[in-house]
Amino acid sequence: MAILSFTELLEKCSRDNKTIYEIAQDEEAFLSGDSVDVIRLRVMEDLLAMKDAVKNGLSSKEKSISGWCGDDCVKLTAKFSEKPALFGKVFEKITTYALATAEENLRMGRIVACPTAGSCGIVPSVIIAVSEERKISESEQISGLLTAGLIGLIISNKVQLAGAVAGCQAECGVASAMASGALVQMLGGTCNEIINAAALSLKNILGLTCDPVCGLVEVPCIKRNAFLAIHAVTGAELALCGVESKIPIDEIVDTLKITGQLMSPLLKETSLGGLAKTKTALELEKKLHLAHKPI
């Protein structure tokens, strides 16, 4: 039977004496009829695809069709090679990997939507960067990704993970919660700490609008991946030291859904409000249309 809430998930973890990733792989094995080993091999394929996206993104500075984006990752890498980041090597890798993956998406490269293409840089950057710096095994990375997947799946039971439905809180916000939970799993946290990390990350991004300039998944979407990846790490660090969300995550998810319903349609991927209708955005829109006007 599908797990429809985080309360049910934690009860099942306690009752069966299993971790969240074990519940996730067991459920997937039951639904697909395949063994747990096969499920983990499939997740490994996703993990390798994420790593390829990072690698390809890091090695390219090809601009998007608009010409606005595509080389921010290169700029960040160059900066860090000359002057290290204040927060250290993990911060450097997370931010550059997030940009690399998001920029690879705008080039129509192969990425893993987790949970969406617009938020594709958040989960991979956290899992891959921390694993490299902390020497976390591939098996543990797979377990982290399974944890992230179940977090996203349970949230999607209540609200569609799409900017057009509930704003970017349902895309980058949910991706941040997924990444935060995955990170706690990889760092040896408990089931309660994993869910608490996801709760803290999701709670503190409620209301995030989706207002892409010219309707393109570029501005502010790409750089938002880097910001929300670091946001996920903050949630994990807080959860691992015992800081708790006073509001349970199931109630946070309910609030996300209600917030999305209350949000103006102008701020839900329509590009009819917010940043998409600033003076500069309108000028960019005009230039873009002129540049691609049929002869």
Rounded CA separation 166/209 (Å): 8
**Predicted pLDDT at 214:** 95
Of residues 7, 23, 20, 26, the one with CA closest to residue 190: 20
Residue 137 lies inside a defined structural domain of this protein: yes
**Predicted pLDDT at 47:** 98
For residue range 125-175, what is the model confidence (pLDDT) as tens digits?
999 999 999 999 999 999 999 999 999 999 999 999 999 999 999 999 999
Residue 231 lies inside a defined structural domain of this protein: yes
Residue 138 lies inside a defined structural domain of this protein: yes
Residue 254 lies inside a defined structural domain of this protein: yes
Domain count along the chain: 1
Please state the φ and ψ torsions of residue 210, each to the nearest 5 degrees.
-120, 100
Residues 27-55, mean pLDDT to the nearest whole number: 97
Q: Is the dihedral of CA 83, 86, 90, 92 positive or negative?
A: negative
Band of residue 290 on the pLDDT scale cut at 50, 70, 90: confident
Residue 1 lies inside a defined structural domain of this protein: no
For residue range 50-71, what is the model confidence (pLDDT) as tens digits?
999 999 999 999 999 899 999 9
Band of residue 2 on the pLDDT scale cut at 50, 70, 90: confident
Residues 235-244, mean pLDDT to the nearest whole number: 98
* Domain range for 11: 6-291
For residue range 252-288, what is the model confidence (pLDDT) as tens digits?
999 999 999 999 999 999 999 999 999 999 999 999 9
Residue 275 lies inside a defined structural domain of this protein: yes
Residue 142 lies inside a defined structural domain of this protein: yes
pLDDT at 295 over 90: no
Residue 100 lies inside a defined structural domain of this protein: yes
Rounded CA separation 132/93 (Å): 9
Residue 97 has which token pair? 């990997």
Please state the φ and ψ torsions of residue 268, each to the nearest 5 degrees.
-125, 70
Please state the φ and ψ torsions of residue 258, each to the nearest 5 degrees.
-65, -40
Cis peptide before 265 (omega within 30 of 0): no
Helices marked H in the chain: 6-16, 20-32, 36-58, 72-82, 89-106, 122-134, 138-156, 163-166, 172-186, 191-203, 221-240, 249-262, 279-291
Entry pTM? 0.97
CATH of the domain at 60: 1.10.4100
Please state the φ and ψ torsions of residue 218, each to the nearest 5 degrees.
-135, -60
Rounded CA separation 288/134 (Å): 44
Of residues 193, 289, 290, the one with CA closest to residue 243: 193
